[in-house]
């Protein structure tokens, strides 16, 4: 199968330049996407909900404005993960409870993107309520990995990552609590950034000051990622903990040429088993930075409390957000979600207090660590893409996990310390399956993560293999 429209292979940055120069219109892009989706999405199930009529109406309104008033994206199409509401579009959260829900109001995040010239044309698939790093649900079924459709796309932003990999999106929205931007980026050879807390505004419906789960961008390369990140960022009255934009755009920061002097590499952050082939690929990728004159040393901060801390705080988050759903719709919730909610409801105050203190202590140790190192590198996932029929990774390298989220420790340890973290392509296994490298920076230094990521990306060059046709 061939890609029928050359626009599909263009970068998002290139597409936006074409939009601003009048070389293409948003309608040209929507036509190209609709054709590409009809050719490949049936094989992977990345974008189960389409809204092209709404998108074309939005494009018409956008074209009435002068080019300079069309926002940072200028008409670039963007799919929204099916955990965020889009006005007038079926928004299921991957749950039978909301199978037929059509919201009247969009999430703040969506409104912000549309104000910046983003054109929403699809909802990307996600596991039920984003729970679990394998994208399947009882509404739409599983999303398959295009590098091998017998393998998992990871999650919970699996639909977004697969859309990017297969050329049905140039950029994509996602979200991340326990690695939900970074895991699918790793499994699909794309880029995903969990930003510093407050960078991206969103609708606050329960825990107003919560920062365990965050919204963020995905793309095929670091510059495109920074472009979408700029459009997502900014202070919004609807999110009282959101931050103003930075003085210098993140795209400019990514292109700045900044490079780290000294980076740390860790095989496992001291807390988890990792598949030996993954370690070999990621370590080889990290050491390539030495070609740019960067010192690479083996080190990591003390994150030994990561599992206990995250499990408690995640359980509290589930209980806070979903207790009414458990009470009223238990029969429609998957077992993992029920377990997480009940874990939260069973917690004693002392356990929560302990977890909050553990998080604060790990944050301080992380800040001290980044006085010595500019960036921290590690595997983004501990295994390559696994069989899609497995609900989660049950064991790795001889270690059996206690629950369905413990295999994600290498990413949720970073969630605990509020650090920006990005996964970019690191290489491929002997089976030609993607592996990602996690790049972590000091809190609020997102621009350095992007610049360091672009430096390594350009050395490695693996992003150039996209987009691909799905393969069995």
Question: In sequence order, what are the beta bridge partners of 193?
Answer: 422
* Residue that has been written with the tokens 């719709």 in this structure: 329
Structural fold of domain 6-465: Amidase signature (AS) enzymes (3.90.1300)
pLDDT tens digit sequence for 232-268: 999 998 899 999 999 999 999 999 999 999 999 999 9
Catalytic residues: 81, 156, 180
Kindly tell me if the per-residue pLDDT of 37 is higher than 50: yes
pLDDT level of residue 207 (50, 70, 90 thresholds): confident
Q: What is the pLDDT of residue 69?
A: 98
Task: Report yes or no: 426 and 436 within 8 Å, Cβ to Cβ.
Answer: yes
Kindly tell me if the per-residue pLDDT of 2 is higher than 80: no
Arithmetic mean of pLDDT, 141-148 = 98
Containing 26, the helix (H) or strand (E) segment is: helix 26-40
Q: What is the DSSP letter of 463?
A: G
Task: Report yes or no: 73 and 117 within 8 Å, Cβ to Cβ.
Answer: yes
Tell me how far apart the alpha carbons of residues 402 and 320 are, in angstroms, rounded to a whole number. Answer: 23
Q: pTM above the 0.85 mark?
A: yes
Give the CA-trace dihedral at 340, 346, 351, 352, to 10 degrees.
60
pLDDT level of residue 1 (50, 70, 90 thresholds): very low
Residue 431: helix, strand or coil by DSSP? coil
Q: What is the pLDDT of residue 3?
A: 55
Phi, psi at 84, each rounded to 5°: -110, 135
Task: Find the length of the chain.
Answer: 472
Structure-token pair, residue 329 = 């719709």
Structure-token pair, residue 137 = 């649900």
pLDDT tens digit sequence for 308-347: 999 999 999 999 999 999 999 999 999 999 999 999 999 9
Tell me how far apart the alpha carbons of residues 195 and 202 are, in angstroms, rounded to a whole number. Answer: 13
Task: Report yes or no: 52 and 87 within 8 Å, Cβ to Cβ.
Answer: no
Arithmetic mean of pLDDT, 196-216 = 94
The percent of residues in the chain predicted with pLDDT above 70, rounded, is 99
Task: Report yes or no: 223 and 13 within 8 Å, Cβ to Cβ.
Answer: yes
The rounded mean pLDDT for the chain is 97
* Residue that has been written with the tokens 């360091």 in this structure: 452
pLDDT tens digit sequence for 87-132: 999 999 999 999 999 999 999 999 999 999 999 999 999 999 999 9
Residue 427: helix, strand or coil by DSSP? strand
């Amino acid at each position: 199968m061939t890609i029928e429209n050359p626009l599909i292979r263009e970068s998002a940055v290139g597409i936006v330049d074409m939009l601003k120069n009048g070389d293409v219109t948003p309608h040209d892009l929507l036509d190209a996407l609709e054709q590409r989706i009809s050719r490949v999405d049936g094989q992977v199930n990345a974008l189960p909900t389409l809204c092209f009529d709404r998108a074309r109406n939005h494009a018409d309104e956008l074209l009435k404005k002068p080019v300079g008033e069309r926002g940072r994206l200028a008409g670039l199409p963007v799919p929204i993960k099916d955990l965020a509401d889009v006005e007038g579009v079926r928004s299921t959260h991957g749950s039978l409870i909301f199978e037929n829900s059509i919201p009247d109001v969009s999430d703040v995040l969506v409104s912000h993107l549309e104000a910046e010239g983003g054109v929403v044309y699809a909802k990307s698939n996600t596991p039920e309520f984003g729970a679990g790093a394998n994208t399947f649900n009882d509404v739409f079924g599983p999303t398959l990995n295009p590098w091998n459709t017998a393998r998992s796309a990871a999650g919970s932003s699996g639909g977004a990552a697969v859309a990017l990999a297969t050329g049905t999106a140039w950029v994509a929205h996602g979200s991340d609590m326990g690695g939900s931007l970074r895991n699918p980026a790793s499994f699909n050879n794309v880029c995903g950034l969990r930003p510093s807390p407050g960078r991206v505004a969103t609708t606050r419906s329960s825990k107003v000051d919560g920062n365990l789960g965050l919204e963020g961008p995905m793309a095929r390369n670091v510059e495109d990622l920074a472009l979408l990140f700029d459009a997502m960022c900014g202070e919004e009255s609807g999110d009282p903990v959101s931050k103003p934009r930075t003085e210098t755009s993140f795209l400019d920061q990514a292109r700045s040429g900044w490079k780290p002097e000294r980076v740390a590499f860790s095989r496992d952050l001291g807390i988890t088993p990792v598949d030996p082939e993954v370690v070999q690929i990621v370590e080889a990728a990290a050491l390539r930075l030495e070609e740019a004159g960067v010192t690479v040393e083996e080190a990591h901060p003390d994150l030994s409390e990561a599992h206990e801390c995250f499990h408690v705080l995640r359980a509290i988050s589930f209980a806070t957000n979903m207790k009414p759903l458990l009470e009223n719709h238990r029969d429609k919730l998957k077992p993992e979600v029920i377990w997480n909610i009940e874990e939260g409801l069973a917690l004693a105050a002392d356990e929560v207090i302990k977890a909050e203190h553990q998080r604060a202590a790990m944050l301080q140790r992380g800040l001290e660590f980044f006085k010595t190192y500019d960036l921290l590198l590690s595997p983004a996932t501990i295994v390559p893409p696994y069989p899609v029929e497995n609900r989660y990774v049950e064991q790795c390298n001889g270690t059996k996990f206690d629950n369905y989220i413990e295999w994600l420790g290498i990413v949720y340890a970073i969630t605990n310390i509020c650090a920006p973290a990005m996964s970019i392509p690191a290489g491929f296994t002997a089976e030609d399956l993607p592996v990602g490298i996690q790049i972590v920076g000091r809190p609020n230094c997102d621009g350095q993560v992007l610049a360091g990521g672009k430096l390594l990306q350009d050395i490695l060059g693996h992003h150039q293999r996209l987009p691909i046709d799905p393969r069995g």
